[in-house]
Amino acid sequence: MTTFRLLTVCTGNVCRSAMAAILLRDRLAALSDVVVASAGTGAPVGMGMTYEGLHLMDRLGLGDLARAHRAQDLTRELIQTSDLILTAAQTHRRAVVQDVPAATGRTFTLNQFAHLAQYVGAEEWDWAAGELAPEASPLSAAVLAAGAARAVAPHLTGERLDIADPYMEPMPVYEACLAQVTQAVDAIAGLLLAAPAGQGAAAGHA
């Protein structure tokens, strides 16, 4: 089966995108054909997650994944080889699509994609199935379906599209950030698991 590559992006790749990637790996663990990576538009390359981020991941039982994390720069190759790119904020989305315009249709903010996921119905799935390239991962149907849901979903604007940066902020700010990231990730994972390939893989691991 074709590998589905998912990329999360923020600024430093030590808080928001790292937490999102770790949570997505956890939620999508039943899908053996999914690879989740993360990167930053201004990453301190090689740096681990912040202490606050590690503490929060420990609370969730995901400390091992968190300690293995190392920040990396967002590169054109990462963008070009990713099937779905989820950014913490609109500024990161703009950075992605300015560098690789061809990635526009598969690049969303986390909150944007989670919002669209709520409006994907049978019509969007049917359209996506007809548009899916033969060589693409079946999970890419979820990306197409979310894009099609723009036609029916209320428009999300302004700060509602963004997850604020908790870097150098106190723990309550980190906790609020994690709550936002978790809510978005749960909706996103739900959509991917609802794709035909997701249903098959999850059933096979039940």
pTM of the model: 0.93
CA distances from 117 to 1, 13, 32 (A): 24, 25, 22
**What percent of the chain is predicted at pLDDT more than 90?**
87
Distance between CA atoms of residues 12 and 29, nearest Å: 25
Helical pair 51-59 and 16-27, crossing angle rounded to 10 deg: 20
Distance of CA 145 to the CA centre of its chain: 15
pLDDT tens-digit series, residues 66-116: 999 999 999 999 999 999 999 999 999 999 999 999 999 999 999 999 999
Strand positions, DSSP E, 34-188: 34-40, 84-87, 107-109
Task: For the chain, list the domains and their CATH numbers.
Answer: 4-204 (3.40.50.2300)
Q: Other C-beta atoms within 10 Å of 164: how many?
A: 14
